[in-house]
A and B are shown apart, each in its own frame.
Chain A
Amino acid sequence: MTATDQSQGGDAGGDAGGPGGGPGDGLEEIPPEPAGFLRRHVFSTDHKVIGRQFLFLGLSFLAVGGVMAMLIRWQLARPGVPVPVVGGLLFGRAGGLISPAAYTALFTMHGTIMIFFAVTPILIGGFGNFCLPLLIGARDMAFPRLNLASFWTMAAATAVLTASFFVPLGPPQAGWTAYATLSTAIGAPGVGQTLWVVAIYLNGASSVMGAVNYITTVIRLRAPGMTYLRMPLTVWGFFLTSILNALFVPVLAAAMVLLFFDRVFGTQFFVAGTTVGAGGDPILYQHLFWLFGHPEVYILIIPAWGIVSDLLSFFARKPAFGYRVTVAALVGVVILSTVVYGHHMFTTGMSPLLGESFMVLTMIISVPTSLLFLNWLGTLWRGASRMTTPMLFCLGLVFTFGVGGLTGLYLADVVADMYLHDTYFVVGHFHLIMAAALLLASFAAIYFWFPKMFGRMMSEALGKWHFWPTFVSLNVVFMGQLLIGYAGMQRRLYDPSVYEFLRPLLPLNRFISRAAYVLGASQLIFVVNFFWSLFRGQKAPKNPWAVGTLEWTVASPPPHHNFDRIPVVVRGPHELGHPAARALGKDWLGQDEGPVRPSADNATDGSTDGSPPDGSTEGAA
């Protein structure tokens, strides 16, 4: 590209025109920064502020959900022993003991909080908001006020969920899946469950607002030259996740509306059974829930995959291996994820043909998933990896995702699932593939983008001290759960010793619990690092990791309008270890960096910029 090309691209002329693309938008139309504390820090429409708000909200709930996990583990390790230290405070009326009802509420709220109020806000709300405009070269989201509404709807949802702790009959107790009829008036007469329904509905509304915004932003606001196949994989992750969110969260919303009617207005969509003599269908709820619920797993994990795909490349100092195959694999997973949900219902007595179809479809998903995984390995191969903290967390994810993904095959097989369904094997599987992956990806993202978000570096030393105990204990906990499930222990059991065949498992349960306490305690290192760095960390340079994506071309933290001048993108996001960069005394090329030695540049760039390689890819060379 020549200099004239660049100035043209800076115009609205490019394919990435749109709301931000008025004439001469490369230089003008910088939105004024609002004045006043409230507008700037509380009800801001700036995606960076909203991203940080989501991040703080999510991290707070991660702590709450984590404490709940510790309490669950305490009960499983020491059934019937009062909880030390906090027991009197939390369960005073029961003498510090966790009662069966409290236990039921704990695992229900742990699951609900972790999925909807911790991981969703951290990754999608927090990093989705912060990263998307910066990574595609935009000044803000397409709909800044919708963004504001999305955050405050989420905040309202958290308020409603929190309120459910303080109502008569206590918090919801029907599990995070809230299966009917347990979640209807038959099994959950209290107001708590109704508040749960409302909270999930509001949470979903927030997600859909975000999704519409993200999709529009990616389609309309990409900087000139930022073709789809030059987008960082992080952006692909958020983009695809948003599509799933926009399509499938409404299904959950429908289920919530019907459940709300059943609970409040006495309809009987999901109510059946001779106790009440109603003619609804509880299985209908399961179809609606999992039609959303399975895509939800991918909604959560795909941003993590995108982030890890980018970060592995950045720190291996090597382009992402098979970028296009990775993108195709992500798209394939997204499509397939919509047609496999029946694997959650193998034991509901579904017709044999249906069961086998869902089994086959589920198995097919392992093809794109293994392509994705193999490409991660390909990225690492012959790299010059820098073992920074974000890299360690990414490598940790590659490991846990391997185990988690492979254990999914057990559950996809109808015969094995007859035995393993609803045991701790399932709990171990989804914690490895979801909880572990999301925790590790969230931490990787925090360590990586913290400098850009807050303008200061986090301590690498403390980061490594955080990583190792976290990684080891996390694997002990979740693989321990797999083993316990293999031995047959059902999930959601208040006291497994009721069953004779489970009594020998107590020592293993204790061991898992100890590892869980270590896992919980290690997070204190993170908390210290986070707050210490926030106020005392070393000032961050523009581009501390020496990578080429657009967010690193602006100050840390970026100005209100992100880019003084909308960048013009000339290459893909992963030009690391680039031979042409050697002349510049570095090993990477920025996405908007003018061409260096054009021929050499083209040689490797052709493969990601959408134009056919000009026959001089290194394979031919």
Chain B
Amino acid sequence: MRPAAPATIALEGVTRTYGHGADEVPALRGVDLTIAPGEFVSVEGPSGCGKTTLLNLLGLLDAPTTGVLRWGGRPVGDRSDRERTRLRLEGVGFIFQRFYLLPTLTARENVELPMRALGVGRAERARRASGLLGEVGLTRRERAYPHQLSGGEEQRVAVARALANAPGLLLADEPTGELDSGNTQAILDLLVRVRAARSATLVLVTHNPEVAARARRHLGMLDGKIVRDARDA
């Protein structure tokens, strides 16, 4: 598979406010941030500070309320819904905080889904899905449905699905939240390895300092703002 080359992603004065009137929740309150292709970024911060909201914007699932979000220099708002959908399919691997596996599909079908949408042939799909599930240690759970899996197993299926189309941008929302330390290391190693092999961009939200320590750049968020942006030497 041709890996989609990661783009530079830039946020300029981005805010995101949910709800209207009295129910208004300002989740992001003015974020300026540029992420270069191939960077490995960790995002830390207390619950509710806007980490997931930031990832959704980076992954084109959501649009800023104000400010500009650019992919490869071009404002994302200029692109049609169809183009953004295509970019997500080819270029973004999302590991959702709540996994978001499709309950009616087996583990392998969940992993195959993005490849199917991309028109990958049946045999190739099956081969790659099995390979990915093997890498996350789930070879024997391929045919299980999400409700038959433990939280950690679901999370690992979600990781495998995010890697299915070899995306240039990996967005991981606490990808090890449900895992023991052994699996945490294994998944992290996998993500790091994949990132290195494809020079993909990896943005990883975590509460675990050990996990954050693996990144090269460390963002700290508080109340919808980026309050720390440190790079390892």
The judgment on whether A and B are partners is no
Interface set of A (CB-CB < 8 Å, partner B): none
